[in-house]
Structure 1
Amino acid sequence: MTDSLSRLSINETAPGRAEVSLDGTDVSSQLAGIDLRLSAGAVAHAVLHVHPANLIDFDGLARVYVGDPSAPDPGPATAVFLGRISAEELEKAALQRADLGTEPHALTAAMLRQLIEWADVRP
Structure 2
Amino acid sequence: MTTPAEPSAYGVQIDAQPGQARIRLNGDALPANQVTGYVLEHDVAAALPTLVLHTRQPDHVQWQGLARVAVADPAQDDGQVVAAFLQNVDPGALARAALERDDLDGSPNELTVAMLKQLADWAQGRA
TM-score band w.r.t. shorter chain:
0.3 to 0.5
Tell me which of the two structures has the higher relative contact order, counting C-alpha pairs closer than 8 angstroms and 6 or more residues apart. 2
| Greater strand content | 1
